[in-house]
Amino acid sequence: MNRHEVIREDRSGGIFRVHRSVFSSAEIAALEQANIFQRCWLYLGHDSEIPNVGDYRRRTVAGQPLFWVRGSDGQVRAFYNSCTHWGANVCRVDQGNAEVFQCFYHAWTFNNRGDLVSVPDETGYGEGFCKEAMGLVSPPRVDNYRGLYFVSFNPEVEDLVSYLAEAKDYIDLILDQSEEGWRVVPGTQKYSVRANWKMFSLNSLDNYHVRPLHSTFFKYTESLGAGDPPVSPPNGFPGTQGRALSLRNGHGVDVFQSLTRARPIAHWHPILGEDSKEEIRSRRVRLVEKFGAERAYLMCNTNRLMLVYPNFALHDIAGVSLRYFEPTGPDYMEVTVQTLAPVDESAGLLNRRLENFLSFLGPGGFAHPDDIEAMESAQLGFRASGPEWIDASRGMRREGTALDEIHVRAFWRQWHANVLGRAKAERDHD
Amino acid sequence: MRDMNSRRQNNSLDERIGKLLLEREVEDFIAREAAMLDEWRLDEWLGLFTDDGRYVVPSTDVPGGDPKETLGIINDDMARLRGRVERLKSRHAHREFPWSRTRRFITNVRIKEMTEEEIQVNASFLVYRIRSGQVDPLIGGYIYTLKRMDGALKIAVRTAVLDLEALRPHGTLSIIL
């Protein structure tokens, strides 16, 4: 299939289809590496993971070994994890604190600002050898928005804020929920999916599957009893349920009413425990005072499934989760999940927040294993040569609800532009 | 003098036999539990827990993490554990419908500590999950806190600590580990 023709869109007929080969083609996967993963901004980590001078974390981003560290000057830097001498990894554990990184191969030593500070038998090098030029190498661009760090291997990439486009507003809506700020809770869920990485991007936006696929989860939470009654949405809240939205540049969000579901910020349900009722309700009161009823409603009584294109899902649902995933081949991806909590949250509510998170989310939750089963099942289904297309037409010909695929199509349009070597899709919206 | 010596020997023999019997009882308990899980006799398995029992699987990067303040993979009290079993028995737990085949190899069972109320037991596990053309080994260790209630052993806490660095290529922990 010619890559120009892998997406078929008929706006007047309300049809949007994607050719299945995009999930298994090695040629497409190579184009994605070159045009997406080496050109976009990719999520690296959260500020709170390296709070002190010398703190570091090791990461793989787009298949490249990196680590990022808070230097002795307080500045956060990311480095390729490769000695400038013969290439071995200089950072050999996932996290820690160090003044220097000494390569174990020949003992070249770098400080935590990346400078090469010591070379054994330095006199063996000639005059042309310049220690100052042999420091650790940084990826071309590293920047953060409100403590969320991103990296890009593309020196020409647009500024992070401009790249985030309208996703920025939704990041604000999530991060503003804690007046004192957020921290990454220790503990990382690392798993894989035997499916194409784009399945995870799509699953992260899609709300249409939630009720049919995750019925066992709802059965469980409903068995626990009722929480605080749903809060009526303010005037102007889109639709009765919410809305699927394109946030430009391939980013998207699904905003939907939480109704009776638990939100640590801030809608109480029995799953969060009697002992947390007051803390949850009082945070809601503070948010109404600070931001007004309308914004507080969005913060406390709606959920968000957000995708920052291409591979960073920031979900504000059973808790705030940071999920990033990347392909190691057309039919396999590695997934990493962390969760944020307000820095000032009580130990009791943190415990409940984590229990609530685990009930739905993660590789051992009551819902997410079935997402993974569905992605893997689709990947197997794509081996069938009869059906050629997947359909993403839902909601093209109406105002739009939270169950529509507006954000999914926005993802595909941006993806298609990138695969064709263009920076931006011609259209962000239906 | 002779009496005292022989009594000491007898005591020590009794102790050693008692210890052996307890070890056998614990090993047998764990082997029976493994069979229940491999045979998907999940309701029966739930009956092995105390009323305030707990089942925990920590995350692979913080294997000793306290689940109250560390994100793990599973942290079930009895309400959630019953919910988990209910879910696994449903045809809507899609990752486990149909059920995967599992085979558990549990060894190196050691009684680590014993008080009047509790016995702490450590063991090593190798659990294979077989489904959809994949064979995925789960490797790690159990830490049990057992209690004796009405003569029978019950599980107060069952922590399964994975040695794996990640659930890759497994993807999920959809069976009871």
Provide block-wise average pLDDT over 10 residues at a time, chain B (177 residues). 59 91 97 98 98 98 97 97 97 97 98 95 98 97 97 97 98 98
Query: Cβ contact (<8 Å) for A187 and B57?
Result: no
- Closest residue by Cα to residue A250 from A399, A407, A113, A394: A407
Which residues in chain A have Cβ-Cβ distances shorter than 8 Å to B94?
A: 213, 369-370, 373-374
pLDDT of residue A239: 62
**Facing residue for A363 by CB, picked from B62, B93, B172:** B172
Q: Is the pLDDT of residue A318 over 90?
A: no
Give the whole-angstrom CA distance, residue B107 versus residue B110: 9
> What backbone torsions phi and psi does residue A417 show, to the nearest 5 degrees?
-55, -45
Residue of chain A whose alpha carbon sits nearest to that of B83: A220
- The answer to whether A349 and A276 are in contact (CB under 8 A) is yes
pLDDT of residue B102: 98
For the record, the structure tokens of A80 come out as: 């390729």
**Facing residue for B95 by CB, picked from A192, A355, A372:** A372
Residue of chain B whose alpha carbon sits nearest to that of A222: B83
Give the whole-angstrom CA distance, residue A8 versus residue A392: 10
Which neighbouring-strand residues pair with A15? A10
pLDDT tens figures, A189-232: 999 999 999 999 999 999 999 999 999 999 998 898 888 888 88
Averaged pLDDT for residues A326-344: 98
pLDDT of residue A259: 80
pLDDT of residue B5: 60
Interface of A with B in 315-334 (CB under 8 A): 332, 334
pLDDT of residue B7: 61
Of A60-64, A90-94, A230-234, A339-343, the least confident: A230-234
Averaged pLDDT for residues A74-82: 98
**Facing residue for A191 by CB, picked from B67, B94, B166:** B166
Query: Cβ contact (<8 Å) for A359 and B72?
Result: no
Q: How far is A271 from chain B (nearest CA, A)?
A: 10
Which residues in chain B have Cβ-Cβ distances shorter than 8 Å to A334?
A: 166, 168
pLDDT of residue B9: 66
Residue of chain B whose alpha carbon sits nearest to that of A334: B168
pLDDT of residue A260: 77
Query: Cβ contact (<8 Å) for A363 and B62?
Result: no
* Percent over 70 (pLDDT), chain A: 99
Give the whole-angstrom CA distance, residue A312 versus residue A308: 5
Amino acid identity, residue A219?
K
Q: Is the pLDDT of residue A25 over 70?
A: yes
Averaged pLDDT for residues A166-193: 97
pLDDT of residue A240: 59
Report chain A's mean pLDDT, rounded to a whole number: 95
- The answer to whether A425 and A412 are in contact (CB under 8 A) is no
pLDDT of residue A427: 85
Q: How far is B84 from chain A (nearest CA, A)?
A: 7
pLDDT tens figures, A257-285: 888 789 999 999 999 999 999 999 999 99
Q: Is the pLDDT of residue A127 over 70?
A: yes
ipTM: 0.95
- DSSP one-letter code for B147: E
